[in-house]
């Protein structure tokens, strides 16, 4: 029989099935008759079980563990990455942050039904990065009178937007891990000279989740947009996509002095409408409760002939414009 | 580029879409293991998620150019962790567990594991965790850590025996205390 010292030398390899048949048999035979070595093997296995238990155990999260938990944060990062891809794909103009309309699902369901049976033009959409990777897919349905639908999914997020023909986009998107569905409502005024106005959302039960999500998104955007992807690359990719689609859009991000994540979107959408949006998130107290608010404003949105919409957009002053209240100046 | 085509002409895009779906499937399968590994390496659950996500992002960017995407993923994740440790030095983050609903002895045992792993040399720790957290073969581990199978065998041997010595006071025979 081999000595205990020899067994200790190969005990780990034995437990990991790394020994050949002869040595395995020799160790097994030794273990049968040696309690000390059996104990050593058991202690080794117990230690590995403890390691496994640690790796699988939940860790407290800094934000809202009851809402998001371990996986939620991971999803947040993935979603943030997806959001960046979304922006690169250049469809940000349809990506309105939302309100708390309780009936959004019903509205969108009805909108969907209205499209059934109509003589629509239906497109499949794939947003493809220059290296050939499809990053998202869905469908665009254009009906009569300006009614249209955009529906797609990516990384488990379902997006749905409908235009009711009066240039109001409504829709929902749902996130895995979120305790509900985000309702989206955007009233993009199509009348010449009219403003779309400001919409304010009150989403108490989503506040903690959203806050955490936005924190992740901020961090991810800071890294990806500023360091990895690079503004120049983003702009170039977006420009080529939009050109093909007949769109012209400029999206600008910044983190303002109050650490709010802000973006401005300026777009000529399919040659039909000119839209300008600014979005910002804030917290606010209403009746003693803190709510997460997502503000968006459309200003100077109007239908103009496409050939008149080729001018450049003015530069904005980063980090100062959205302090206090939404700016009201014309572009 | 942005492609908008009618339904019947979508076949041309299907291949790239499927490649994307392949990535998503792989990411879904591997994410948990990557996080487990990184958590053991870095002694911090949140940093682990960041690193694992970064590894997945790198694979995404390199998708289609890697003969063995899984091997690339394991190697990238391990390298990111080792780089992280080099920058951080020997300090480990403060206590990770503050959840009061867990019994004290469980919290203590897990904290002991976290600290015991940090006692191992980074390469030993990586080898042990690729085995225990991700269930890789010695050959796969050798590929991820760019070492020979003999070296891996040696690192895992030393690492596991050290863990046994450090953790035995926290576990009873055959069952965790």
Distance to chain B for A212, nearest Cα, Å: 13
The number of C-beta contacts closer than 8 angstroms across A and B is 172
The per-residue pLDDT for A300 is 39
Give the tens place of pLDDT for each residue, A27-65.
999 999 999 999 999 999 999 999 999 998 876 432 222
Percent of chain B exceeding pLDDT 90 equals: 44
> Which of B5, B19, B167 lies at the smallest CB-CB distance from A47?
B167
**Above 50 in pLDDT, residue A77?**
no
Q: Across the interface, do A51 and B113 touch by the CB < 8 Å criterion?
A: yes
Domain shared by A90 and A228, yes or no: yes
Residues 59-88 of chain A whose Cβ lies under 8 A from any Cβ of chain B: 59-62, 65, 70, 73-74, 77-78, 81
CB pair distance less than 8 Å for B40 and A74: no
Percent of chain A with pLDDT over 90: 14
Residue A105, SS3 per DSSP: helix
User: Sorting pLDDT into bands at 50, 70 and 90, what band is A249?
Assistant: low
For residue B152, give the nearest of B114, B120, B126 by alpha carbon.
B126
3-state helix, strand, coil in chain B (%, to 5): 75, 5, 20
* Residues A284/A296, Cβ–Cβ less than 8 Å: no
CA A165 to each of CA A114, A196, A212, A264, A305: distance values in angstroms, whole numbers, following the listed order: 11, 15, 35, 25, 19
Q: With CB atoms and an 8 Å threshold, state whether A39 touches B173.
A: yes
Judge if ipTM > 0.85: yes
b/e sequence B125-137, b meaning 16+ C-beta within 10 Å: bbbbbbbbbbebe
Q: Is residue A50 within 8 angstroms of chain B, CB to CB?
A: yes
Q: Which residue has the higher pLDDT, A22 or B20?
A: A22
Packed helices A35-56 and A4-15: angle between N→C axes, nearest 10 degrees: 30
Residue A273 contacts residue A296 (beta carbons within 8 Å): no
What SS3 class is residue A186?
strand
Query: Average pLDDT of chain A?
Result: 49
In this structure, what token pair is assigned to residue A219? 């961090």
Same domain? For A206 and A142 the reply is yes
Looking at residue A58, what is its pLDDT? Answer: 76
Percentage of residues in chain A having pLDDT higher than 70: 17
Over chain B, what is the mean pLDDT?
A: 80
Q: Is the pLDDT reported for residue B133 higher than 50?
A: yes
Task: Assess whether pLDDT exceeds 60 at residue A135.
Answer: no
Claim to verify: residue A196 and residue A236 sit in the same structural domain = yes
Considering only the beta carbons, identify the residue of A49, A133, A244 that sits closest to B63: A133
Same domain, A201 and A277: yes
When divided into structural domains, chain B yields a total of: 1
Q: Which of A12, A134, A244 sits opposite B16 (nearest CB)?
A: A134
Q: Using CA atoms, how far apart are residues A61 and A71, in angstroms rounded to an integer?
A: 10
Same domain, A35 and A105: no
A97, part of any domain: yes
User: Based on the structure, what is the number of domains in chain A?
Assistant: 2
Task: Output the pLDDT for position A160.
Answer: 54
Q: Of the spans A248-257, A285-294, B50-59, which averages the highest pLDDT?
A: B50-59
CA dihedral sign of residues B52, B58, B64, B69: negative
pLDDT classification of B106: cutoffs 50, 70, 90: confident
What 3-state class would DSSP assign to B126? helix
When pLDDT is averaged across residues A281-301 and rounded to a whole number, the result is: 44
Residues on chain B touching A90 (C-beta within 8 angstroms) = 2
Q: What is the pLDDT of residue A279?
A: 53
**Interface contact B39-A77, CB threshold 8 A:** no
User: Which DSSP helix (H) or strand (E) runs through B5?
Assistant: strand B2-6
Q: Which two tokens stand for residue A127?
A: 């947003």
Give the nearest chain A residue to B56 (CA atoms).
A78
Please give the pLDDT value at position A147: 52
Whether residue A181 lies inside any domain: the answer is yes
Each as own residue / partner, the long-range contacts of residues A1-8 (CB below 8 Å, 24 or more positions apart, any chain) are A1/A29, A1/A30, A1/A33, A2/A26, A2/A27, A2/A30, A4/A30, A4/A34, A4/A36, A4/A37, A7/A31, A7/A34, A7/A37, A8/A37, A8/A40, A8/B161
Same domain, A188 and A262: yes
Using the structure block, give the residue that is written with the tokens 């939302």.
A98
Q: How confident is the model at residue A149 (pLDDT cuts 50, 70, 90)?
A: low
The answer on pLDDT for B115 being more than 70 is yes
Distance from CA of A269 to the nearest CA of B (A): 15
Of the candidates A47, A27, A26, the one whose C-alpha atom is nearest the C-alpha of residue A37 is A27
Residue A227's pLDDT band (cuts 50, 70, 90): very low
Any idea what the Cα angle at residue B19 is, between residues B17 and B23, rounded to 5°? 115
Number of neighbours of residue A210 by Cβ within 10 angstroms: 24
Nearest CA in chain B to A12: B157
CA distance B100 to B96: 12
- A199 and A286 housed in the same domain: yes
- Looking at residue B108, what is its pLDDT? 81
User: In angstroms, how far is CA B20 from the centroid of its own chain?
Assistant: 22
At B154 the pLDDT is 95
pLDDT value of position A140: 56
* Angle formed by the axes of helices B45-62 and B69-88, nearest 10°: 140
CA A88 – CA A229 distance, rounded (Å) = 10
pLDDT attached to residue A241: 45
Question: Residue A98: its pLDDT value, please?
Answer: 28
At B47, which CATH number?
1.20.140.160
Q: Nearest to residue B72, comparing CAs of B85, B86, B62?
A: B62
Nearest Cα to B152, choosing from A113, A328, A16? A16
* A240 lies within 8 A of chain B by CB: yes
Please list every residue in chain A whose beta carbon sits closer than 8 Å to the beta carbon of residue B2.
89-90, 127-128, 240-242, 244-245
Domain span including residue A76: 69-308
Please state the rounded mean pLDDT for residues A265-288.
50
- A117 and A47 inside one domain: no
Which chain A residues have a beta carbon less than 8 Å from that of B113? Answer: 50-51, 53-54
Residue A164 CA: distances (Å) to CA of A140, A145, A185, B175: 14, 9, 11, 63
Would you call B157 an interface residue with chain A, using a CB distance cutoff of 8 Å? Answer: yes
Q: Are residues A295 and A229 in the same domain?
A: yes
Residues of chain A neighbouring B112 (CB-CB closer than 8 A)? 50
A94, part of any domain: yes
Q: Which tokens is A192 given?
A: 């010449």
Closest CA to A202 of A289, A134, A293: A293
Whether the per-residue pLDDT at B41 is higher than 90: the answer is: yes
Q: Are residues A159 and A194 in the same domain?
A: yes
From CA A125, how far away is CA A146, in angstroms rounded? 19
Q: What mean pLDDT is predicted for residues A275-290? A: 49
- Cβ contact, residue pair A51, B132, below 8 Å: yes
Alpha-carbon Rg for chain A, nearest whole angstrom, is 28
Give the mean model confidence (pLDDT) for residues A70-76: 29
Which range has the worst mean pLDDT, A56-65, A319-328, B43-52? Answer: A319-328
pLDDT value of residue A99 = 28
**What are the CA-CA distances from residue A96 to residues A52, A171, A176, A185, A187 (Å)?**
43, 9, 19, 7, 10
What residues 75-94 of chain B have any CB closer than 8 A to a CB of chain A? none
Q: Does B46 touch chain A (CB under 8 A)?
A: yes
Give just the sign of the alpha carbon dihedral A308, A309, A311, A317. Answer: positive
**CA distance to A147, A278, A326, per residue, from A262 (Å):** 29, 7, 11
Asked if A135 has any chain B CB less than 8 Å from its own CB, the reply is yes
Average pLDDT, integer, range B142-152: 95
pLDDT higher at A89 or B68 = B68
In this structure, is residue A205 part of a structural domain? Answer: yes
Same domain for A181 and A211, yes or no, is yes
Whether the pLDDT of residue A126 is over 70: the answer is: no
Region A241-263: mean pLDDT is 50
Do A221 and A184 have their domain in common?
A: yes
**Residue B126 predicted with pLDDT over 90:** yes
pTM above 0.80, yes or no: no
Give the number of other CB atoms < 10 A from CB of residue A154.
21
CB contact under 8 A, B13 and A134: yes
Residues of B in contact with A68 (CB under 8 A): none
**Lowest mean pLDDT segment, chosen from A191-200, A227-236, A284-293:** A191-200
pLDDT at B170: 85
> What are the pLDDT digits (tens) for A98-107?
222 333 344 4
Domain that holds residue B123: 23-89+101-176
């Amino acid at each position: 029989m081999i000595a205990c010292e020899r067994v200790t030398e190969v005990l780990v390899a034995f437990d990991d099935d790394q020994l050949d048949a002869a040595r395995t048999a020799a160790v097994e035979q030794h273990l049968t008759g040696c309690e000390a070595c059996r104990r050593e093997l058991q202690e080794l296995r117990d230690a590995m079980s403890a390691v496994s238990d640690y790796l699988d155990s939940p860790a407290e999260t800094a934000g809202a563990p009851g809402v998001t938990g371990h996986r939620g944060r991971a999803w947040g990062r993935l979603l943030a990455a997806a959001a960046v891809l979304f922006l690169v794909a250049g469809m940000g103009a349809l990506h309105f942050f939302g309100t708390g309309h309780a009936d959004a699902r019903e509205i969108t369901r009805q909108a969907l039904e209205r499209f059934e049976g109509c003589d629509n033009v239906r497109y499949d959409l794939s947003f493809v990065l220059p290296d050939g990777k499809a990053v998202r897919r869905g469908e665009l349905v254009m009906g009569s009178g300006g009614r249209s639908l955009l529906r797609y999914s990516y990384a488990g997020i379902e997006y749905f937007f409908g235009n009711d023909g009066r240039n109001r986009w409504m829709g929902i998107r749902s996130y895995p891990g979120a305790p509900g569905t985000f309702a989206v409502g955007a009233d993009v005024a199509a009348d010449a000279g009219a403003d779309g106005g400001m919409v304010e959302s009150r989403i108490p039960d989503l506040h903690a989740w959203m806050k955490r999500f936005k924190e992740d998104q901020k961090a991810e955007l800071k890294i990806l947009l500023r360091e990895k992807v690079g503004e120049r690359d983003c702009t170039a990719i977006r420009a080529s996509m939009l050109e093909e689609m007949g769109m012209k859009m400029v999206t600008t991000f910044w983190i303002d002095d109050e650490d709010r994540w802000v973006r401005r979107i300026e777009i000529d959408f399919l040659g039909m409408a000119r839209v300008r949006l600014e979005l910002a998130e804030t917290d606010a107290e209403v009746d003693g409760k803190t709510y997460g608010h997502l503000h968006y404003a459309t200003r100077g949105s109007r239908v103009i002939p496409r050939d008149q919409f080729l001018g450049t957009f003015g530069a904005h002053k980063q980090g100062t414009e959205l302090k206090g209240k939404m700016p009201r100046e014309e572009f | 580029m942005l492609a908008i085509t009618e339904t019947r002409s979508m076949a041309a895009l299907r291949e790239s879409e499927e490649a994307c779906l392949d990535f998503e499937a792989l990411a879904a399968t591997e994410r948990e293991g990557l996080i487990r590994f990184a958590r053991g390496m870095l002694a911090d659950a949140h940093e682990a998620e960041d690193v694992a996500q970064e590894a997945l992002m790198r694979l995404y960017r390199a998708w289609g150019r890697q003969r063995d995407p899984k091997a690339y993923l394991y190697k990238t994740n391990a390298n990111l962790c080792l780089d992280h440790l080099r920058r951080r030095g020997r300090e480990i983050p403060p206590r990770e567990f503050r959840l009061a609903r867990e019994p004290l002895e469980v919290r203590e045992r897990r904290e002991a594991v976290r600290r015991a792993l940090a006692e191992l040399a980074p390469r030993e720790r990586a080898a042990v965790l690729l085995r225990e957290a991700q269930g890789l073969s010695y050959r796969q581990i050798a590929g991820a850590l760019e070492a020979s199978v003999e070296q891996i065998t040696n690192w895992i041997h030393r690492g596991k025996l050290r863990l046994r010595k450090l953790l035995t006071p926290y576990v009873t025979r055959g069952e965790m205390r």
